[in-house]
Amino acid sequence: MSDLPHLVQVAVHAPVHSGLGDLLSYASAAPLPPGTLVRVPLGAREVLGVVWDAADAPPAPGVELRAVAGVLEGLAPLDAHWRRLVAFTARYYQRSLGEVALAALPPQLRSLSTEQIARRLRRSSPAPEAAAETIENVVLSAEQESSRAKISSEPGPFLLFGSTGSGKTEVYLRCVQEALAAAPDAQALVMVPEINLTPQLEERFRARFAPHFGAAAVVALHSGMTHAQRLSSWLAAHAGRARIVLGTRMAVFASLPGLRLIVVDEEHDPSYKQQEGARYSARDLALWRGRAQGAKVILGSATPSLESWHASRPATPEDPAGGRYLRLHMPSRIGAGALPRVRRVDMNQQPRRSVLSPPLLAAIAERVARGEQSMLLLNRRGYAPVLHCADCDWKSDCPHCSAHQVFHKLDRTLRCHHCGTTQRVPRACPACGSLDIVPIGRGTEQLEEQLTQLLAPVLRPDGTPARVVRIDADSTRAKGALQSQLAQVHAGEVDVLVGTQMIAKGHDFRRITLVAAVQPDGALFSSDFRAPERLFALLMQAAGRAGRDAAYMAAQGTPCEMWVQTSHPHHPVFEALKRHDYPAFAAQQLQERAAAGLPPFSFQALVRADARTQEVAQGFLRAASEAAQTLPELAQVTLYPPVPLAIQRVANVERAQMLLESPHRTALQRFLAAWQPLLHATRADPAHKGLIRWLIDVDPLAI
């Protein structure tokens, strides 16, 4: 040991329940500063680890001291900001430090040898000299300019509440530019929900900044990239060569030593919440990181999450807790374009079982004849959600899940969208042999088929037939399929676009004059209290795809329209949509939430348990709940009884959950921290050996 005089604490991803602490102690020949990336032996393997501040957590006692196997040379240590972010995430979301730290690093850092990484580093080019070129700017609208000025002069965080097409992206571009100009090493992080859906955004950032800072200054970071690309982007950000990182939720963990600004576009989008491992909210972490690292944070949306909306209510003498975020309002569309007129079709007055009501069909046909585009939204892929036998009531249930198998007509399959089980469509009822098996309900495939038939007699201005294209998870499975389908729409080769919510998000379509929600009612009566919020956001986003090009709209002279087919035309969601009135909708929802004590007026966590039987899953939760009764930290926390999940069984696994609620975030946090060891102990009790797994979801999005 005399030649290895230094003791270092290393965060590694040790297997869960291995009994090892968060940090492991190793011996090292040289003192290694915190943040150094190392390779260390763990059992029979050698794994990546991060040297941690010894003061952050005591080492696990009684572990034999082994030597650090190697240091990743040439990589600057991860800075204290990054380590604090990781430590906070682990604590807040109740995961181990090592798991969060290692998951936050690009996968290739784990798999490549130190030599291979050294080679990558040598290959990556040095920082390019900034070109002298000045950046060409469009003239901001008055609303944009006022937002920009506020962001420039106030500390934030900001909620940029701007209508679709109000020019939020232009404000982001300008604020990024300003942040980067402040210092030669300044960096900005721009997050979007799903980058594959918005290749235009990346183009806009590149076009704006590459001429000034060099092509290498803008990098992307998302799961659609290869591991090699991700490593390369990560290294560029870590070394400060990349000035702008554009990414999805994972990018919140990028190492950005010069971080000055974080933008979270479409901040309400549920995809900012990670749904496995550490179930973090990238939006919430962005706010935390911004505060901790002294970077400004801009949240942007046309339909903010009710949490952000509530946090940005103005402070008043009666309500001094308001004003945590500064709300910036941009109600007008660029070019004075109008938001679409909302038309509700009362489906109670329409012929029964019609997918498309006659007036909507006529409106679509009219657009086709004028050479304009329409977009139809139906949030269900496949042909029909279930096959049904009229004689014996057989349904196409998945044998492994408490869900139906969906009928896909194009490839004649029945597919479970939960576990993936696929089988051929039976000719006759598997239960009674009847040939009278029929699809019930409708999906995008059926909508596409019927629309194609119904529009067959309608011709475009050049005398050619109407073209219908469907975009959903099925049509875009092949690599590049989504991009080419979107390109078709942009090129005007499509008259009617049919799809799931995939088509509602972010796209800057120029020639769409009609958008329709074919069957949105399902979400109105969901048991999930966030369902109306999500539906409203989706419909507003969808509406935002229509009439984006004011000059085109003026030339065509057609009013742009958003159609909603519903059996509840006077539901508050549709009343607010009709007026494009997000504030009214939010006020109504917040009133309901306040009365029911739901977020943002309370804080929640879920404990989930999976087992072969409901009894075992719920038994574990009940035992954990009993154990919790001994904790003084339970005082301000309500623990509800275990219940099965809405889809109780998936892939033969029974799922149950238990809700926790508290009026205080810190009280909930303190309770979870105190309870965590008891959960582990309950798990270890042989009475619960049938349990497959359990997990905690803090600030869950779906209850």
Give the residue with the Cβ less far from ligand ADP, 55 or 555.
Answer: 555
Contact 114, 122 (CB under 8 A): no
Decide which of ligand ADP, Zn ion, none touches 334; Cβ closer than 5 to 8 Å per partner kind: ligand ADP
Q: Select the residue interacting with ligand ADP from 81, 168, 273, 507 (CB under 6 A).
A: 168
For position 292 contacting ligand ADP by CB under 6 A, the verdict is no
Question: 403 vs 515, which CB is nearer to Zn ion?
Answer: 403
Show Cβ contacts of residue 390 under 8 Å, excluding neighbours closer than 6 positions: 434, 436, 437, 438
CB 208 within 8 A of CB 177: yes
According to the binding rule CB under 5 A, does residue 419 interact with Zn ion? yes
Gap between the terminal Cα atoms of the chain: 53
Under a CB-based contact definition with an 8 Å cutoff, are residues 22 and 49 in contact? Answer: no
By the rule CB under 6 A, 193 interacts with ligand ADP: no
CB of 171 to ligand ADP, least distance (A): 7
Choice between 429 and 468, CB closer to Zn ion: 429
Distance in angstroms (rounded) separating the CA atoms of residues 598 and 613: 30
Residues 501-520 that bind ligand ADP (CB under 6 A): 508
- As measured in angstroms, the least distance from the Cβ of 333 to ligand ADP is 8
Binding mask 300-339 for ligand ADP (x = CB under 6 A): ----------------------------------x-----
Partner from ligand ADP, Zn ion, none binding residue 144, C-beta < 5-8 Å depending on class: ligand ADP
162 scored as a contact of ligand ADP (CB under 6 A): yes
The sign one gets for the Cα dihedral 411, 417, 422, 427 is negative
CA angle 586, 589, 593 (to 5 degrees): 130
Residue with tokens 């049919």: 498
Give SS3 for 89.
helix
**d(C-alpha 61, C-alpha 20), whole Å:** 9
Residues 359-418 that bind Zn ion (CB under 5 A): 389, 391-392, 394, 398, 400-401, 416, 418
Q: Are the C-beta atoms of residues 74 and 120 closer than 8 Å to each other?
A: no
**Binder to ligand ADP among 22, 99, 143, 170 (CB under 6 A)?**
170
CB 590 within 8 A of CB 306: yes
391 binds, among ligand ADP, Zn ion, none (CB under 5 to 8 A by kind): Zn ion
177 binding ligand ADP? (CB under 6 A) = no
Least distance in Å: CB of 420 to Zn ion?
7
Q: How many CB atoms lie within 10 A of CB 329?
A: 15
Could you identify the residue written with the tokens 């989504």? Answer: 482
CB 614 within 8 A of CB 644: yes
For residue 351, give the 3-state DSSP assignment: coil
Ranges within 87-146 binding ligand ADP (CB under 6 A): 138-141, 144
- Asked if the bond preceding 157 is cis, omega within 30° of 0, the reply is yes
Shortest distance (Å) from residue 548 CB to ligand ADP:
7
Pick from 94, 166, 519, 541: which binds ligand ADP (CB under 6 A)?
A: 166
Binders of Zn ion in range 432-451 (CB under 5 A): 432, 434
The alpha-helical segments, DSSP class H, found in 491-597 are 531-543, 550-556, 572-578, 582-596
- Separation CA 277–CA 115 (nearest Å): 30
Choices 46-54, 158-166, 310-318, 633-641 (CB under 6 A): range interacting with ligand ADP:
158-166
Task: Give me the least distance between CB of 250 and ligand ADP, in Å please.
Answer: 22
154 binds, among Zn ion, ligand ADP, none (CB under 5 to 8 A by kind): none
269 vs 308: CA distance, rounded Å: 12
Stretch that binds ligand ADP, among 76-84, 167-175, 452-460, 681-689 (CB under 6 A): 167-175
Partner from ligand ADP, Zn ion, none binding residue 140, C-beta < 5-8 Å depending on class? ligand ADP
Using CA atoms, how far apart are residues 263 and 265, in angstroms rounded to an integer? 6
Crossing angle between the packed helical segments 582-596 and 531-543, to the nearest 10 degrees = 170
What does the DSSP 8-state code read for residue 583?
Answer: H
Report the residue number, 210 or 431, with the smaller CB distance to Zn ion.
431
Q: How far is the CB of 163 from ligand ADP (least distance, A)?
A: 7
| Residue of 619, 310, 311, 371 whose CA lies nearest to 511 | 371
The residue (of 85 and 406) whose beta carbon lies closer to Zn ion is: 406
For Zn ion, the closer of residues 15 and 433 by Cβ is 433
Binding-site residue total for ligand ADP (CB under 6 A)? Answer: 15
Binding site for Zn ion (CB under 5 A): 389, 391-392, 394, 398, 400-401, 416, 418-419, 421, 429, 431-432, 434
Binding site for ligand ADP (CB under 6 A): 138-141, 144, 162, 164-170, 334, 508
